[in-house]
Amino acid sequence: MGILSGNPKNEPMHYGEIFSVWETSMMAKGMVSCYEAYMSHAGDKDLKKMLKDLLDQAKLEIKECDELLTDNGIAPAPGLPERPPAKLEDIPVGARFTDPEIAAKIAADTSLGLVSCSKTMGMSIREDVGALFAKYHLTKTALGVRILQMNKEKGWLIPPPLQIKRPEEK
């Protein structure tokens, strides 16, 4: 079979795989920067726990994706500077993100992350790359369920228009 046989880690990555891994690392680095700021803005303890779990996942993705890129001779995206912590009381009310705003943003980010993982899994010809993104997809699915449950419990979920009364069938 040639170049695409044997241990997948010895196979070359194609440009789509390279870009997807690089993009995932860059997006995770942006999430770490953003979610660290959200930690200073959040007041709800459940939201803070969710942000911590999302930060842990983003840091894991950065580590694993950057290692994969480096092992394949590709320079990873540079990291962003670490944010200093701030106290919620020190952030002016007009400049503060509210808990429902933060919760909506992390829900949207997690949803987009699922789509990105699915795209990468579908395009991968290296089994290890596809499996890595399947792992991320599974984790993001579990986090997304927890975010949805939290948003419902806290009354933060703004549903799209609901079909309460269905048209009668003819």
**Model confidence pTM above 0.85:** yes
Comparing 45-54, 69-78, 133-142, 156-165, the range with the smallest average pLDDT is 156-165
Say what the pLDDT of residue 1 is: 47
The CA-based angle 30-35-38, given to 5 degrees, is 135
pLDDT surpasses 80 at 26: yes
Distance in angstroms (rounded) separating the CA atoms of residues 42 and 40: 6
Which among 20, 110, 119, 124 has a CA at the least distance from the CA of 74? 20
